[in-house]
Amino acid sequence: MTGLEFHAAAGDPKELHAYEADHGMRIPEASRDRRAFLAAHIGLDA
């Protein structure tokens, strides 16, 4: 499945973020969003 197919199959609420990056996603925007997601959903410090 592609990322868009996973997004379409997921229940609500959901968000889709796209980044200009290679597969490793080692860019500041993606890192910031990962930390915020983990803080919001499993209580890790952002």
DSSP string, the chain: --HHHHHHHSPSS------S--TT--SHHHHHHHHHHHHHHH----
Prediction pTM value: 0.70
Is the pLDDT confidence value at 46 over 70?
no
pLDDT band at 1 (very low <50, low <70, confident <90, very high): confident
User: Other C-beta atoms within 10 Å of 28: how many?
Assistant: 8
- What does the pLDDT read at residue 10? 94
pLDDT in tens, 12-38: 999 899 999 999 999 999 999 999 999
- What does the pLDDT read at residue 28? 97
Beta carbons within 8 Å of 24's beta carbon, 6+ residues apart: none
Beta carbons within 8 Å of 16's beta carbon, 6+ residues apart: 3, 4, 7
